[in-house]
Amino acid sequence: MNRFVCLRPTSVAEAVAAASEPGSAYLAAGTNLLDLMKGGVARPARLVDVTHLPGLGAIETLSDGAMRIGALVKNSTLAYDAAFSARFPAVAEALLSGASAQLRNAATVGGNLLQRTRCPYFYDTASACNKRAPGSGCDAIGGANEGHAVLGFSDHCIATHPSDFCVALTALGAIVEIEGEGGRRDVPITDFYRLPGDTPEKETVLSPGEMVVAMRLPADSTAFSANQRYLKVRERTSYAFAVVSAAAALRLEDGRIAEARLALGGVAAKPWRAEEAEARLAGRHANRAAFEEAADLTFAAAKPSGDNSYKITLGRRLVTRALLLAAAGTPDHLPALPASPFAETPAGVLPEGVAHV
């Protein structure tokens, strides 16, 4: 690990000014950043410690009905917040499916948004990686790439985004609040992340020094609370990053879908919002045929980036299952294995027409 200085500002404005200096990085829980530093993947010269900044640790309902979550709120704190989990159960389920309990108790929701890919070539400093060292190449292309992207990738990068939380946030139209030297701005989470193109090192729209201070879930997303689920296929059911995941939310009226929300994880360099599939579902009966059609449309443009064609088939099945479970209704209590497609519903019986992936 390289030598660095650590600064502890007392306000957001002071933190932004300090982090605007070249070679700076924000430090909160450090559950991802410190690993990257220990491995020589990230080598900041200045760490700006934001853990004691005031006003960033609150969960609050705003006057317009939106819910605002400060960037320093812990993952576990948010997942177990009764008011939040009642309104956004798929987000809580996504949080509880991520990492281990110890990490959820330490990690912050702002850090969750900004975590880096888990591509093994990104972590291996002896490998070529355009994300870590622009212009060096991508050893994942032609390498061990069964876990890599099937949507939105480029000839420069085929890595995937690792977050569960952000997939559910994307489905529900979250807004990211950003503070910079030019003031505060709001960015929809669908616009917050960049696809790799020919600049995979640019992962978000953040400018140097800008800081995520909060995220908001708009009031209208509460309309989906009765019919939403998050599902995740992973190599270890206890805890692991998603091979493929899906957040599905429906607003039902007399058995028909008034509005649908759908987002995927593990398939692209950003959480993938399936807007065409959402539009196709509007007005349809909530049944398997409609959900299978939406799943096919979601992956219509997908293609393997290597030895990962299975992800397309798996993704279609997972989307169908997530939509079926959402249509069956949000359970009163989360299953013992949150987000697992192999977990039974709390009642012990799967809805009619639902089969294991």
Residue 205 domain-assigned?
A: no
Grade residue 349 by pLDDT with cuts at 50, 70 and 90.
very low
For the residues 143-152, what does the mean pLDDT come to?
Answer: 98
CA 106 to chain centre: 17
Residue 27 domain-assigned?
A: yes
Q: Is 25:34 a contact under the CB 8 Å cutoff?
A: no
Report how far residue 121's alpha carbon sits from residue 119's, in angstroms, rounded to the nearest whole number. Answer: 5
Structure tokens that stand for 111 in this block: 């850090």
Q: Is residue 138 scored above 70 in pLDDT?
A: yes
The percent of residues in the chain predicted with pLDDT above 70, rounded, is 96
Domain that holds residue 24: 5-52
What's the total number of domains in the chain?
Answer: 2
For the residues 268-274, what does the mean pLDDT come to?
Answer: 98
Indicate the SS3 state at residue 328. helix
The larger pLDDT score, comparing residue 306 to residue 343, is at: 306
Q: Is residue 67 scored above 90 in pLDDT?
A: yes
Query: In three state form, how does the secondary structure of 99-154 look?
Result: CCHHHHHHCEHHHHHCCCCCCHHHHCCCCCECCCCCCCCECCCCCCCCCCCCCCCE
Residue 334 domain-assigned?
A: no
For the residues 313-319, what does the mean pLDDT come to?
Answer: 98
Q: Is 16:210 a contact under the CB 8 Å cutoff?
A: yes
Grade residue 158 by pLDDT with cuts at 50, 70 and 90.
very high
Report how far residue 193's alpha carbon sits from residue 219's, in angstroms, rounded to the nearest whole number. Answer: 23
For the residues 136-156, what does the mean pLDDT come to?
Answer: 98
Residue 87 domain-assigned?
A: no
Residue 255 domain-assigned?
A: yes
Q: Is 98:239 a contact under the CB 8 Å cutoff?
A: yes
Residue 280 domain-assigned?
A: yes
- Residue 312: φ, ψ to 5°: -70, -45
Q: Is 18:7 a contact under the CB 8 Å cutoff?
A: yes
Q: Is 210:179 a contact under the CB 8 Å cutoff?
A: yes
Grade residue 226 by pLDDT with cuts at 50, 70 and 90.
very high
Residue 182 domain-assigned?
A: no
Grade residue 239 by pLDDT with cuts at 50, 70 and 90.
confident
Q: Is residue 21 scored above 70 in pLDDT?
A: yes
The string over 239-278, giving b where at least 16 C-beta atoms fall within 10 Å of a residue's C-beta and e elsewhere, is eebbbbbbbbbbbbeeeebebbbbbbbbbbbbbbbbeebb
Q: Is residue 345 scored above 90 in pLDDT?
A: no
Query: Residue 85 corresponds to which amino acid?
Result: S
Give the pLDDT of residue 342: 83
pTM of the model: 0.95
Give the pLDDT of residue 334: 83
Residue 192 domain-assigned?
A: no
Grade residue 343 by pLDDT with cuts at 50, 70 and 90.
confident
User: DSSP class of residue 206?
Assistant: P
Report how far residue 169's alpha carbon sits from residue 271's, in angstroms, rounded to the nearest whole number. Answer: 9
Point out the least confidently predicted range of 50-59, 233-242, 256-265, 321-330: 233-242
Grade residue 271 by pLDDT with cuts at 50, 70 and 90.
very high
* CA distances in angstroms from 278 to 151, 291, 316, listed in the order given: 17, 10, 14
Please report, for the domain that includes residue 15, its CATH number: 3.30.43.10
Report how far residue 20's alpha carbon sits from residue 2's, in angstroms, rounded to the nearest whole number. Answer: 20
33, 52, 71 - which closes a domain: 52
Give the pLDDT of residue 35: 96
Give the pLDDT of residue 303: 98
Report how far residue 274's alpha carbon sits from residue 264's, in angstroms, rounded to the nearest whole number. Answer: 8
Q: Is 269:196 a contact under the CB 8 Å cutoff?
A: yes
Structure tokens that stand for 21 in this block: 């200096």
Q: Is residue 351 scored above 70 in pLDDT?
A: no
Report how far residue 35's alpha carbon sits from residue 343's, in angstroms, rounded to the nearest whole number. Answer: 31
Q: Is 258:245 a contact under the CB 8 Å cutoff?
A: no
Beta strands 46-49 and 24-27, pairing class:
parallel
Of 8, 9, 12, 340, nearest in space to 184 by CA? 12
Please report, for the domain that includes residue 274, its CATH number: 3.30.390.50
Q: Is residue 357 scored above 80 in pLDDT?
A: no
Grade residue 354 by pLDDT with cuts at 50, 70 and 90.
very low
Grade residue 355 by pLDDT with cuts at 50, 70 and 90.
very low
> What angle do the packed helices 288-298 and 310-328 form, to 10 degrees?
140
